[in-house]
Amino acid sequence: MMKNPFGPQDDPGLYAYANLKKRMLKNVQDARVSDQIFSVVQKTFEKALIGENIVLSAPEKQRMLAQIMKQVLSDMLAKMDDSPTSTARQS
């Protein structure tokens, strides 16, 4: 059986990068960044509804907030793709 010449066992830098990425993700998750982003969008959405005197039912509000949240996150990802510092996205 032949070893993969590009496997992590032959490239300790690749393993170190993956390990670092996991640690950084854990730090971001522990800081509850996604909760903070959600909260900012939700509060801004609520203020905009109040500011425009718009009344929506709870299901309408939930559906519209979800659509807006998806668009905001999509726009954020597009900025990452367009950034000159991101040459290749790592998943």
Confidence of residue 91 (pLDDT cuts 50, 70, 90): very low
Distance CA 37, CA 54 (A): 23
- The mean per-residue pLDDT over the stretch 71-82 comes to 92
pLDDT digits (tens, 9 = 90+) for 61-74: 999 999 999 999 99
Q: Provide the whole-model pTM.
A: 0.68
Token representation of residue 2: 């032949």
What pLDDT digit, counting tens, does each position of 10-67 carry?
666 667 888 899 999 999 999 999 999 999 999 999 999 999 999 999 999 999 999 9
Q: Where are the domains of the chain?
A: 17-82
Beta strand segments in 1-91, E: none
CA distance 69 to 57: 18
- Provide the pLDDT for residue 16: 85
